[in-house]
Amino acid sequence: MAKRRKNPAAEIDWYLISIERLKQIGLVVVLLLLAGGGWYFWNKQRTNPQLNAERAITDARQALNSLAASPEFNAHRSEFNKAQQKLDAAKTHFAARRWVEAQQAAVESETLSRIPGGDPDNDAQFVTVEGDVKYQKGASSEWRDADTRTALFNGDWVRTGDHSSAELVFSSNGSLYTIGPNALLEIYATLNPGSQKKSPSVTVRVGPVEVATAKDASTVRTPGTQVVVESDSTTQVGVDKSQATSVVTMRGNASIAPEKGGAPVRLSSGERVSSTPVGAISSIEKVAMAPALQLPADNQVYQLSPELRVQFAWEPQASAREYVLQVSHTRLFSTQEINSRRQKTNASAKVSQEGSFYWRVATIGPDGQLGPFSAYRRFRVTGGGTTKVDKIPPRLQLVAPFWLGGPNYLIRGTTEPGATVFINDEDVDVDPNGAFRRVITFGKLGPNTVVIKAVDAAGNTNPKSQTVIVEE
């Protein structure tokens, strides 16, 4: 019987390969090793905190030099000084081998230096700070005091304390976020891959936030849900300590959807829903809308005297169980001089001190739920005695327009406390110290004229104008 041959493949211990083939394989191996080594080196460099700090300091120094050489340097000397201080702090941190702190200070310096010239890379910025407001950079564990020059980026955190509030404006579209007391939220600006445009959003862990949009929508993420506030709308979003979410639309429209997927619920003005931490959304309810305010008139001036009593009045709301009257020294009502429930549509308060005051009213509906507050009005109490006829226009000082990105600019300045300010014929909020600000979105490229007018209690007017050049 012929002996059965074994499988030839099982007896092969090596392959015979031509010299040319070996050269080709060797070349491929070398290229792979070079690519792998290059990736490893780049990745180490990218994640090296010392090198990141060095690069940030270099960029900040270049931005500061560019600002110093700018023909508009004199108009932005305060920004230059602050940027220089931040750069000095970055160098101090670097010398002490605190790489992360050095990088953060350098980034803040560069942001301040680039404010006048354009292309800010910040996602949001504080425009109003009242009380204990702090922020935390995404790469740090340190909480710092916020001010109106603080720039925020994706991944940064904001925290408000008791009787504290803040306003944030987003650079991409001018959306305004008003943060109430005892809130914690994260900046979460997302990039649209198609348009390469950032969409403003925040993640709220706890506390109240009011979102006022302009031409674009904004998003608020809460435990279990996602709230989209449509363009030209105002919506209040609150997260309580149990992680339940409440959404009330005051103007325009908004929609709320479960985070894990599902059909969104669309709200119109005057409607409210709530949601559990896992995204179970309630049915839509009507809210008790705020009454129209009657007395005192906006910006009314009173003379201080021992007999002075300010009379408040507002229109009745159908089915109202009660009303809540609030009076505050601050525009965001972070603290209240009066916070009182009233069954009547009027109240009287004795005032024994000078100053500017803000007041507003909300309706408590038949279900016992508090509705949104009205837009506030202001009144001012001045020293007693006989006063001469005032014929002097109010003081009005303007700051250079602050570019927020795209066609969005922050117009700001100061006037006399108690004066009314109009920007392009629109009434603007004025702080008790006379400071004011308004985000303006321009609709055309090239030069745009902004008219700012201050009017005091005697009717004296001080108009000024600024020209803003919007580029492509």
What is the b/e burial string over 77-94, where b = at least 16 CB atoms within 10 angstroms of the residue's CB? eebbebbbebbebbbebb
What value, to the nearest 5°, has the Cα angle with vertex 395 and ends 351 and 409? 105
Please tell me the pTM assigned to this model: 0.63
Asked whether residue 60 carries a pLDDT value surpassing 90, the answer given is no
Q: How far apart are CA 231 and CA 252, in angstroms?
A: 8
186, β-bridge pairs: 157, 203
DSSP for residue 182: S
265, β-bridge pairs: 256
**Model pLDDT, residue 426:** 82
Q: How far apart are CA 226 and CA 222, in angstroms?
A: 6
Single out the residue of 272, 175, 264, 269 nearest to residue 227, CA to CA. 264
- Three-state DSSP class for residue 187: strand
**Model pLDDT, residue 126:** 87
Instruction: Give the containing element (helix H, strand E) for 82.
Output: helix 77-95
Residue type, 262: G
Q: How far apart are CA 471 and CA 406, in angstroms?
A: 8
Tokens of 261: 């997927």
Asked whether residue 342 carries a pLDDT value surpassing 80, the answer given is yes
Taking residues 56-71, report their average pLDDT: 78
Asked whether residue 43 carries a pLDDT value surpassing 70, the answer given is no
**Model pLDDT, residue 230:** 94
Taking residues 425-441, report their average pLDDT: 79
Per the model's pLDDT, the better-predicted residue between 150 and 6 turns out to be: 150
Q: Provide the residue count of the chain.
A: 472
Give all strands (DSSP E) within 280-345, no chain letters: 285-286, 293-295, 300-303, 309-314, 322-328, 338-342
pLDDT band for 28, please (50, 70, 90 cuts): low
Tokens of 60: 């900040």
Q: How far apart are CA 169 and CA 410, in angstroms?
A: 9
